[in-house]
Amino acid sequence: MTHENERFEAEGQREEGSGSSAEDMLEAERDFGFARVYTVELKYKERPDFSRERLYEKMQLYTGTVDRPEEQKLSDNLLVWEPSEKTETDMLHFFHLNYPVKFADGEMPAQTSLMPTPNRPASEYETAVQQAWHWPEAGAVLEECRYSIRLIDMMASGLEPKERLRLVTGALRAVLETVPCDAVYFRESDKLLEPGDYLTAIEAGGILYGAMNLRFFNVEGTGSERSEMLMDTVGLAALGVPDVQCHFFDLEPNEVAQQLTNLGYYLFDCGDVIKDGETFGPTEEVRWRCEHQYALAGPHRIVLDVDPGQPYYAGRQSAPTVD
């Protein structure tokens, strides 16, 4: 299996010129589920219009270095490129000087871009709507949206996962507070969010509220008479740590959800530190065995599979049918 440490080792070899091919590295990243470019879509019912000066101020506020002396000019923390002539396809490109990324020939600041993009119909977000337990109105809101803005990061994949997500979160917060939208879509986690709920969660410290999507499936077609379920996260592998999954019988879904959420945050905070065969669980008496596997439900990526033990573990299915 491809683990986080192996991915970063491959990237380090490339930067040091050890001969590891770019094609091999990219293939390893795809196998893991890593996203070289991170994408968030902002959906609007009405055409968005905003003050660039206010956006720059917010971007400086949320992506600047918080421990700089107060007298340090914020403009030293941010460079902005914009086209010389405004058009319908204007793009803003930000160089975040407080997020340097090391390369073989030096450092380059991580970057984000903000650009209008053709609006996609609600039907293209079907899987996200199906899993939007936290926002029942998501589908109806998408049906009314006619405009989209895309926020992406660039040259940022070499950042540590927490640093990279902190940058994306800060940039997204700046945009949301400048030109509020009607729906937010995290492509890497396939998650739709109500913008106000997202901002509230971020302010409360829920850094993974958008970046990690906890999904629930009923498993059918296996011939079992028991209640068979699959729960997983999607979005963590895109940042460089494994997602988590549990394929189980008869357990209370809310209890499994809490454990997988806790495990997801643990991996995001500490990295891919749980080795195959080690355990994780709610108490010292109740421990669930962990093992790296490929995900049962797409997209293709590495997950840390959690075995709650007999009689609850449903095992690995070759091709489960989920709905």
**What is the predicted pLDDT for the residue at 263?**
96
pLDDT band at 313 (very low <50, low <70, confident <90, very high): very high
Tokens (6 digits) for 304? 């840390």
**Stretch among 61-75, 232-246, 294-308 having the lowest mean pLDDT:** 61-75
Which pTM was predicted? 0.84
Q: Which position has the higher pLDDT, 76 or 42?
A: 42
Q: Which residue matches tokens 């993009």?
A: 117
Q: What is the mean pLDDT of the chain?
A: 85
Q: Which position has the higher pLDDT, 229 or 11?
A: 229
Q: Which position has the higher pLDDT, 40 or 77?
A: 40
Distance of CA 298 to the CA centre of its chain: 15
> What is the spatial distance between Cα 231 and Cα 218, in angstroms, rounded to a whole number?
9
Instruction: Calculate mean pLDDT across residues 197-221.
Output: 94
Instruction: Calculate mean pLDDT across residues 147-172.
Output: 96
pLDDT at 123 over 80: yes
pLDDT band at 79 (very low <50, low <70, confident <90, very high): low
The sign of the CA dihedral 13, 17, 20, 22 is positive
pLDDT band at 221 (very low <50, low <70, confident <90, very high): low
**What is the predicted pLDDT for the residue at 92?**
87
Burial class (CB in 10 A: 0-12, 13-18, 19+), 128: buried
Instruction: Calculate mean pLDDT across residues 13-18.
Output: 39
**Among candidate residues 222, 200, 220, 219, the one with its CA nearest the CA of residue 210:** 200
How large a percentage of the chain has pLDDT more than 70?
82
Q: At what angle do helices 22-32 and 4-16 cross, to 10 degrees?
A: 160
**Among candidate residues 173, 147, 171, 150, the one with its CA nearest the CA of residue 159:** 171
**What is the predicted pLDDT for the residue at 23?**
84
pLDDT band at 213 (very low <50, low <70, confident <90, very high): very high
> What is the spatial distance between Cα 107 and Cα 110, in angstroms, rounded to a whole number?
9
pLDDT band at 206 (very low <50, low <70, confident <90, very high): very high
Q: What are phi and psi of 85, to 5 degrees?
A: -120, 130
Q: Which residue matches tokens 């990219």?
A: 26
**What is the predicted pLDDT for the residue at 105?**
85
Distance of CA 20 to the CA centre of its chain: 27
> What is the spatial distance between Cα 10 and Cα 18, in angstroms, rounded to a whole number?
9
CB atoms within 10 A of CB 23: 8
pLDDT at 67 over 60: no
Instruction: Calculate mean pLDDT across residues 215-225.
Output: 81
Instruction: Calculate mean pLDDT across residues 84-96.
Output: 67
pLDDT band at 260 (very low <50, low <70, confident <90, very high): very high
Tell me: the pLDDT tens digits for 101-122?
A: 998 888 988 999 999 999 999 9
Instruction: Calculate mean pLDDT across residues 19-35.
Output: 84
**Stretch among 19-23, 122-126, 127-131, 257-261 having the lowest mean pLDDT:** 19-23
**What is the predicted pLDDT for the residue at 73?**
38
